[in-house]
Amino acid sequence: DNIIRPFEEIEKEAILKTIEYCNGNVVKAAKLLKISKSYIYKQKKQWQSGK
C-alpha cells in the first residue's frame, strides 16, 4: 500500500536487504549502495542500541 514511511525505516530496510543479498558481505553491500562501510557499521550499532 501507499503508506508514507520514515526515511530511517526505508534506509534500514535497504541496508539490511542489501547485506542479505551480499551474503553478509558489508563491503560489497556498501559498494552496491554507494555508501561507506563505516556508515553501515555505525547504523547497525545504532539499531542494536535501540536508537
Asked if the model's pLDDT at residue 2 lies above 80, the reply is no
C-alpha cell recorded at residue 14: 535497504
Helix axes 7-21, 26-33, angle to 10 degrees: 130
> Exposed (0-12), middle (13-18) or buried (19+): which is 15, by Cβ within 10 Å?
buried
Tell me the pLDDT tens digit for each residue of 3-46.
Answer: 899 999 999 999 999 999 999 999 999 999 999 999 999 999 99
Asked if the model's pLDDT at residue 1 lies above 70, the reply is no
- For 13-31, what is the HEC assignment? HHHHHHHHHCCCCHHHHHH
7-48 topology per CATH: Arc Repressor Mutant, subunit A (1.10.10)
Q: What is the pLDDT of residue 50?
A: 82
Hey, where are the domains in the chain? Answer: 7-48
Question: What is the model's pTM?
Answer: 0.86
